Structure 1
Amino acid sequence: MRILWYWSLPVAVLAWELTTRSAQAVFFPPPSQIVVRLHEMWFSGPPSRAFLTDEAIADLLPSLARLFAGWAMACAAGVLAGVALGRSNRLAALVEPLLHFGRSVPPSTLLPVFLVLFKIGTPMELASIVYGVIWPVLINSMDGARHVDRQYIETGTVYRLSAWQRLTRVILPAAAPKIFAGLRLSVSLALIMMVISELVGSSEGLGHRMLEAQSKFDIPAMWAGIVLLGLLGIALNAAFLGVERTVLSWHHSVRNGATR
């Protein structure tokens, strides 16, 4: 099965290449043209700059900076609010209906509101990313903190742990698997919201570059942006999985031991 998985991508790319060349569709260039355009736009710079071109520095770096800043703010706020709501039934009863209402509103529909509040620029893009990312983190953190095993809490009470020690040594470690599940979902959402916000309210960034390529009918450049977004998504997911395995190594070892 693993051999088939390794060969599936080259076969799919080859099929894409042959199909698009035979069809000669203007809006669906072959992968070879997309790769060439991708290299020309962003990765044909000097070795001293890690082969990044001026366009890469002007597009990728601001986009990644906004992505990581918005994701970090949303994760910090989501974890703090989620744990607080998960440990307080009274507070959750008051706030939870608003949470379900807020997460039901598609983030893209609020872009005009963010434009009015923050104008075009980085604050508007950060607000869009934070709003789109915070919900899975908050809901998973709340669920994880709410369902901490009662025996863990009672053990902390027996050992007379302070409220801070109970939070950092009992509640957060017990809720960590759920929290990391929300954080993993939020990574892809942050990438999506970064592009959407740049398509609407930015004069720089990867989303703006794709919109500019579309307006100029530079179809290979537009597809190069799409491919680059997919590669970024794969890289971010792989990096996050590596961090998750390191931080939750104790959880994976316990789970593997229980399944044996």
Structure 2
Amino acid sequence: MKVLKTVFTNTIASIIFIVVWEISARLGLVNTMFIPLFSTVLVAIKDLIITGTLLPHIAISLQRSLGGLLIAVAIGIPLGFIMGGWFRKLKTALEPLFELAAQANPYILFHVIILFLGIGEAAKLAIIAWICIWPILFNTAAGVRHIDADLLKAARSFGLTRWSLFYKVVLPAAGPSIFTGLRLSAGYSFFLLIAAEMMGSSSGLGWFLIYSQENYNIEWIFSGAVVIAVLSISIDTIFKYMEKRIVVWNEP
């Protein structure tokens, strides 16, 4: 019921925003040279999709975003369990290093990464993975730290081995926190990718926005912005659905 209420509220808010946008433009409250009608933007998006102009850039951006996120997941979740104290000696050794690395500004690192990897796909994947690792790592660690001690004691009383305890109890119990980190990282990966594509790329949605800006095509600029917003909401919705299906099914 709570989920339906949230969806309903978000939908109503989005509709109100779109209606205000459309009416303001039609009544001349805003200059349509700078803010076109929402209906005009929708028509532009339809034309871009039909002509095949936009879909390749969407596919490329999603591929880059997913690639960096998967690298972050493969690294961040195991390190999160280490930082959560499940492997205490490693935690003690690595914690100061991770705390320092997490403070590094990704936009500054982007230039350093370009220096070593160039402006190709490797640099984009590296910077996305870097920014995505930390929410996954720290949320996983928090999830492990806050597991109910009584739950662990009860599990140990059944004679579970360390690895069985990890797989059957610790991993499911930390699931909600892990998915929180995944949702944050998914959002970060997409928006940072757009910035990366603006700085050095010849494809993707970030490049499409810069190209549209350089050619002063306002409708294309807003089309790209609307597509990015829809994709971000869709990605977050997918992760919410996955969390409900996987975490609930694996609850200890």
TM-score by length of 2: 0.87
Deviation for aligned residue 1:150:
2.5
**Alignment correspondent of 1:40:** 47
Contact 1:124 1:201 in 2 (8 A): no
User: Can you list the C-alpha shifts for 1:225-248, whole angstroms capped at 9, x where unaligned?
Assistant: 111000001111111111111112
Matched, 1:241 2:219: no
CA–CA distance in 2 between the matches of 1:207 and 1:67? 12
The within-5 A match list for 1:203-242 is 203-242=202-241
Contact 1:82 1:141 in 2 (8 A): yes
- Range with greater deviation from structure 2 (133-142 or 106-115): 106-115
Matched, 1:62 2:67: no
* Structure 1 residues 143 and 10, CA gap change in structure 2 (3 angstroms): closer
**Alignment correspondent of 1:258:** none
- Range with greater deviation from structure 2 (81-90 or 234-243): 81-90
Q: In structure 1, what residue type is equivalent to 2:67?
A: A
* Structure 1 residues 166 and 4, CA gap change in structure 2 (3 angstroms): closer
Residue identity over aligned pairs, in percent, reads 28
SS in structure 1 at match of 2:232: helix
* Structure 1 residues 90 and 121, CA gap change in structure 2 (3 angstroms): same
CA–CA distance in 2 between the matches of 1:24 and 1:84? 55
- Count of aligned pairs: 244
User: Please, which of 75, 78, 84 is the counterpart of residue 77 of structure 1?
Assistant: 75
Deviation for aligned residue 1:202:
1.6
Contact 1:17 1:30 in 2 (8 A): yes
CA–CA distance in 2 between the matches of 1:112 and 1:208? 17
Contact 1:115 1:201 in 2 (8 A): no
Contact 1:20 1:29 in 2 (8 A): yes
Q: In structure 2, what residue type is equivalent to 1:68?
A: L
CA–CA distance in 1 between the matches of 2:14 and 2:188? 24
User: Can you list the C-alpha shifts for 1:80-101, whole angstroms capped at 9, x where unaligned?
Assistant: 1110221134433332233222
Which runs of 5 or more residues in structure 2 are unaligned?
Answer: none
* Structure 1 residues 247 and 115, CA gap change in structure 2 (3 angstroms): same
Contact 2:139 2:181 in 1 (8 A): yes
* Structure 1 residues 168 and 29, CA gap change in structure 2 (3 angstroms): same
Contact 2:172 2:250 in 1 (8 A): no
The within-5 A match list for 1:1-260 is 6-21=11-26, 22=28, 23-41=30-48, 43-45=49-51, 53=52, 55-86=53-84, 87-250=86-249
Contact 2:136 2:182 in 1 (8 A): yes
User: Can you list the C-alpha shifts for 1:175-206, whole angstroms capped at 9, x where unaligned?
Assistant: 11111111111111111122111111221111
- Range with greater deviation from structure 2 (236-245 or 100-109): 100-109
Q: In structure 2, what residue type is equivalent to 1:11?
A: I
Contact 2:186 2:235 in 1 (8 A): yes
CA–CA distance in 2 between the matches of 1:82 and 1:5? 32
Q: In structure 2, what residue type is equivalent to 1:44?
A: I
Which runs of 5 or more residues in structure 1 are unaligned?
Answer: 46-52, 255-260
Q: In structure 2, what residue type is equivalent to 1:32?
A: S
